[in-house]
Amino acid sequence: MSGQEKTEQPTPKRRQEAVDKGNLPKSNEVNSAAVMLAGLATFIMAGNAMWEILTGFMRYTYHNISFIDISRDSVPVQVILLLQVVIAILAPLLFAVLLAGILSNVFQSGIVFSRKALSPSFGKLNPLKGFKKFFSPNALVELLKGLLKLSIVSAIAYQVLENHADAYMLMVTRSTAEIVAFLFEVILEMTVKVALIMVILAVADFAYQRYSYEKGLKMTKQEVKDEAKSSEGNPQVRGKIKSRMLEVMRQRISQSVPEATVVITNPIHLAIALKYDPRQQTDAPLVVAKGKRKNAAKIKEIARENFVPIVENKPLARSLYPVCEVGQEIPEEFYQAVAEILAQIFQRDNQRLEAIRSQMNG
């Protein structure tokens, strides 16, 4: 059915639910590529030092094999010495690989802690679900990716080995150090080429996983409607909507009150800001802002800061407030009362203007 098609973009609530469940877009190819690049970089930068430690230990063992005490008491000492050498060789590699694995996951999904994903669930132990996942489209995609990687790695290995086929025949005439150096170069060349291919596959798989994730989060029109209905009854959502409306109202007051001609007050609980310019072809004064209590106080505060006249008229303020909306002209029944107030304001302004002119001329 067309009504059940997932054509709508996921809502913030839908996305948050996915995060809470630990459902995040993640590409294993990105992790593999990052780990391989980290290992390769470690070998390039610290390979000589690792090789020196290994060969030094081998030389020491070779020259002192006849003097090494192999007894029940000395075995722990020899094991500790061997472990120290192994740790010294592998520590940089393990640290780089571990760091790359962590950073690649953070890059893809950020730092997210989901209790729901970590909590035990018997559904995860359901063999039927595991069987379904094994034959799901995602499992097929993963199988194809694995076969593709195996084919590419095999092709690269064959191509690199074939390029050096002539050199293999000459190894019988070379020293052990030269043979080791040659094999290291071949392995390094093979690893670099495989790493480059892994990066390309990682970029492609990352884009695919993002696309698949967004597609999976999409909603039907009915789901969007149902979520909107459930959100309306949520006290937190209602509170956020109310605070947002108040914020918008305060911003509108800050912008419109400075342009007002007069503010009519209750004088404490109500304030209505009116704008009227005789030079403009307007039939009646326009309501540019109105408010109760805190908003009324805000309107009066902004009016004082911008030298907008404030007129106290309790009956008029109480009558105007419930019937006037912001952006609309006042009803005709209030023309006379408002006109008298505006006339006083204009007369006062004219008197001030005449006084200023006389002072300048005098």
> 292 φ, ψ to 5°?
-110, 150
User: What tokens appear for 120 in the block?
Assistant: 């035990």
Sheet of strand 262-265: strand arrangement: 286-292, 270-275, 262-265, 310-312
Which domains does the chain show, CATH number per domain? 8-112+123-223 (no CATH), 255-331+340-353 (3.40.1690.10)
Specify the pLDDT at position 111. 74
Mean pLDDT comparison of 54-58, 182-186, 194-198, highest-scoring range? 194-198
Q: What is the pLDDT of residues 200-238, one digit of tens each?
A: 989 998 898 888 888 888 888 888 887 777 765 556 666
Q: Among candidates 348, 346, 357, which has minimal Cα distance to 277?
A: 346
349 close to 307: Cβ distance less than 8 angstroms: no
The tens digit of pLDDT for each residue in 37-49 reads 998 899 888 888 8
pTM above 0.75, yes or no: no
Using the predicted structure, report yes or no on whether residue 196 has a pLDDT greater than 80.
Answer: yes
Lowest mean pLDDT among 6-10, 114-118, 171-175, 337-341: 114-118
Per cent of the chain over pLDDT 70 is: 81
Contact 133, 139 (CB under 8 A): yes
User: How confident is the model at residue 116, as a pLDDT?
Assistant: 56
- State the chain's maximal CA–CA distance in angstroms: 121
User: How confident is the model at residue 357, as a pLDDT?
Assistant: 60
Type of residue numbered 58: M
Please state the φ and ψ torsions of residue 272, each to the nearest 5 degrees. -125, 120
DSSP string, 45-109: HHHHHHHHHHHHHHHHHHHHTTT---STTTHHHHHHHHHHHHHHHHHHHHHHHHHHHHHHHHHHH
Which has the higher per-residue pLDDT, 75 or 120?
75
pLDDT, average across residues 326-332: 87
pLDDT above 90 covers a percentage of the chain that reads 7
Q: Does the pLDDT at position 1 exceed 50?
A: no
Among 18-22, 179-183, 261-265, the range with the most confident prediction by mean pLDDT is 261-265
Q: What is the per-residue pLDDT for 117?
A: 52
195, containing H or E segment: helix 176-217
Element (H, E) at 288: strand 286-292
Question: What is the model's pLDDT at position 113?
Answer: 63
Q: Lowest-pLDDT range, 69-78, 246-255, 263-272?
A: 69-78
Location of structure tokens 């419109």? 256
Distances (CA, A) of 107 to 26, 290, 334: 10, 49, 64
In this prediction, residues 297-321 reach a mean pLDDT of 89
Q: Which residues pair with 312 in a beta bridge?
A: 265
The pLDDT value recorded for residue 19 is: 77
Dihedral, 247, 250, 255, 256 alpha carbons, nearest 10 = 130
- Taking the C-alpha atoms of residue 218 and residue 84, their distance in angstroms, rounded to an integer, is 54
Residue 126 reports pLDDT greater than 60 = no
CA distance 271 to 165: 93
Angstrom distance (rounded) from CA 211 to CA 350: 68
For residue 326, what pLDDT is reported? Answer: 86
Per-residue confidence (pLDDT) for residue 265, from 0 to 100: 92
Count other Cβ atoms within 10 Å, centred on residue 11: 16
Encoded amino acid at 227, one letter: E
**Which pLDDT score, from 0 to 100, does residue 238 have?**
65
Identify the weakest region by mean pLDDT among 12-16, 27-31, 247-251: 247-251
Q: Please, are residues 300 and 263 in contact by the beta-carbon 8 Å criterion?
A: yes
Mean of all residue pLDDT scores within the chain? 80
Tell me: pLDDT of 353 over 70.
Answer: no
Distance CA 160, CA 175 (A): 22
The CA angle 116-117-122, to the nearest 5 degrees, is 85
What is the full DSSP assignment across 240-253?
HHHHHHHHHHHHHH
Q: How far apart are CA 104 and CA 28, in angstroms?
A: 9
Is 90 exceeded by the pLDDT of residue 99?
Answer: yes
